Structure 1
Amino acid sequence: MLQGVSTEDDRTDATVTLHVSMRDLRPEDLPACTWSGSATHLHHVERELARAAAGEVDYLAVCTPAGLPVAIGGVDYRACEGAGTLWQLAVLPALQSCGLGTLLVRAAEQRIRDRGLHRAELGVEEDNPRARALYERLGYAAYGRAPDAWDEEGPDGTIRRHETMCVLMRKNLTA
């Protein structure tokens, strides 16, 4: 359920219910996912969809009734033996803190269980406390730190290297 926000021009609070569904992300969805990152990021997602077709990963989408993705993320089954590794999780900024991230993570965990695996892992940037708080609420526990880096496109179209430190987290899925 989404809570409305009052503006200066409209002093009325409202509650809006948005029905969503979960499905695999498809290549034709990518033009509607520009909110999730730069063109470079979407090229990476497109490559991951090819891996999904080969069964190496799952790439999920939480969609509106019109079929538009409002949250996306993947599970990599090759990154860590015996576990599914959640990565590239993103929620449309206007709909953050509405439960879509929780829905996405729980669906990813079910995909991991469906593969006969009993552990989920992820890395969250140290400077993203909101995401880390979500993962902790969902039962993930920190077990280490590791650097991560990727190329990203700047507003002027130049590619730059983004380097960060991530907290490594895991969750046992057998309970």
Structure 2
Amino acid sequence: MLASMTDTAGAPLRTTLALPVAVRDLTPGDLPACTWSGSATHLRQVERELVRAAAGEVDYLAVCTPADLPVAIGGVDYRARAGAGTVWQLAVLPALQSCGLGTLLIRAAERRIVGRGLRTAELAVEEDNRRARALYERLGYVAYGREPDAWDEEGPDGSLRRYETMCVLMRKEL
């Protein structure tokens, strides 16, 4: 049970909490704790990407709390574009967005890219996702083109629908 704390005037009490986090590889055992990151369809896709991670084709990372629970996840695909690591499927637990976890995750992904001997990171961001694009620009990513993207999404009734969008392509020299 959660209790709400207020001061004597009834205003919520606020404090800053410092919580150490660590970045590690995401594992299949983490997936039940990642339902916040997307639908069951999305999690099945992440599970397939973990098979690719075991084969060395991708890295899939998790930012975890001291209880070892993932609060941010995302991957790097080394086969999507020749000569670059493509950062993709980034997600941060909604309640912890704007706390620096996305930045930490992207920087860890960039270190993995450099560790593979590559010097370019690329990503795609939906055109209407201004908040994410602002983060990527702040981290040094520069737009270089546009491309459509599409994927299947699961509706509340379990039905699948095709989601189509236009993405801005961005890159950063590492």
* TM-score, with structure 1 as normaliser: 0.93
Which stretches in structure 2 are left out of the alignment for 5+ residues?
1-5
Cα distance in 2 for residues equivalent to 1:148 and 1:18: 36
Cα distance in 1 for residues equivalent to 2:119 and 2:135: 20
SS of residue in 2 equivalent to 1:16 = coil
Instruction: Please state if 1:18 is matched with 2:11.
Output: no
Structure 2 partner of 1:161: 162
Cα distance in 1 for residues equivalent to 2:43 and 2:128: 23
Cα offsets for 1:121-152 (capped at 9, x unmatched): 00000110000000000000000000000001
Q: Which runs of 4+ in 1 moved over 4 A?
A: none
Instruction: Please state if 1:60 is matched with 2:61.
Output: yes
Distance 1:14 1:85, change over 3 A: same
Identity of aligned residues (%): 78
Which stretches in structure 1 are left out of the alignment for 5+ residues?
1-5
Cα distance in 2 for residues equivalent to 1:66 and 1:133: 30
Q: Which has the larger radius of gyration?
A: 2
Which residues of 2 match residues 100-119 of structure 1 at below 5 A? Answer: 100-119=101-120
SS of residue in 2 equivalent to 1:15 = coil
Distance 1:26 1:10, change over 3 A: farther
Structure 2 partner of 1:83: 84
State the superposition RMSD in angstroms: 1.4
Cα distance in 1 for residues equivalent to 2:50 and 2:150: 21
Q: How many angstroms does 1:56 deviate by?
A: 0.1
Structure 1 partner of 2:121: 120
SS of residue in 2 equivalent to 1:157 = coil
Instruction: Please state if 1:48 is matched with 2:63.
Output: no
Distance 1:76 1:9, change over 3 A: farther
Cα distance in 1 for residues equivalent to 2:133 and 2:68: 28
Structure 2 partner of 1:27: 28
SS of residue in 1 equivalent to 2:72 = strand
Letter in 2 for 1:162: Y
Cα distance in 1 for residues equivalent to 2:14 and 2:23: 28
Letter in 1 for 2:136: Y
Matched residues, number = 168
* TM-score, with structure 2 as normaliser: 0.94
